[in-house]
Amino acid sequence: MTNKTVIDFRNDPLITGSCAIVAYARRKNGNRPAMDYIEKLEKLDWAKLSKSFMMIASVGRIHNPERFKKIGGRSGKIYEFKIYPKVRVLCFQLEKTWLLTHGFDKETGDTPPRQIKRAEEIMKEHISLLSQ
């Protein structure tokens, strides 16, 4: 892993590792909702997300379901980075690239279905941009 302790979240891709790339998914209007959310986080949460992103980029996976897990959705392709107590960043994978869709503050219980649906909408828009 790198000596870099905090990623510059304004970059795209955020990090390129030996196993994967972590980048922002884009909407048709050019917005990157995950970047908008992440830029508003406190520095400690940035550092925790950086650690998770560097791990997935360098190792290819995160074995701790308390930090990263598949949540599925209709497509079955949505994953969730988790920073306790409330920070959640949803993503999907295209080949070796993990694309961050958006983030939200989780209140209680399971990930709300509307958040999973939003991640799938962003994923669909991002993929449609690739085919243009």
Is the pTM higher than 0.85? The answer reads yes
Residue 3: pLDDT over 50 = no
Residue 10 lies in a domain: no
Contacts of 91 (CB under 8 A, 6+ apart): 25, 34, 78, 79, 80, 81, 98, 99, 100, 101, 119
Residue 6 lies in a domain: no
E strands of 5-46, at which residues?
Answer: 15-16, 21-24
Residue 59: pLDDT over 90 = yes
pLDDT digits (tens, 9 = 90+) for 70-109: 999 899 999 999 998 899 999 999 999 999 999 999 987 7
- Rounded to an integer, the average pLDDT of 3-10 is 50
Residue span of the structural domain in which 25 resides: 15-130
Order of all β-strands in the sheet with 15-16 = 15-16, 21-24, 97-105, 87-94, 78-83, 68-72
Lookup: tokens for 9: 């979240």
Residue 93 lies in a domain: yes
Residue 47: pLDDT over 60 = yes
Type of residue at 88:
R
CATH at residue 25: 3.30.2310.20
Mean pLDDT of all residues in the chain?
89
Total structural domains within the chain: 1
Residue 2 lies in a domain: no
Residue 1: pLDDT over 80 = no
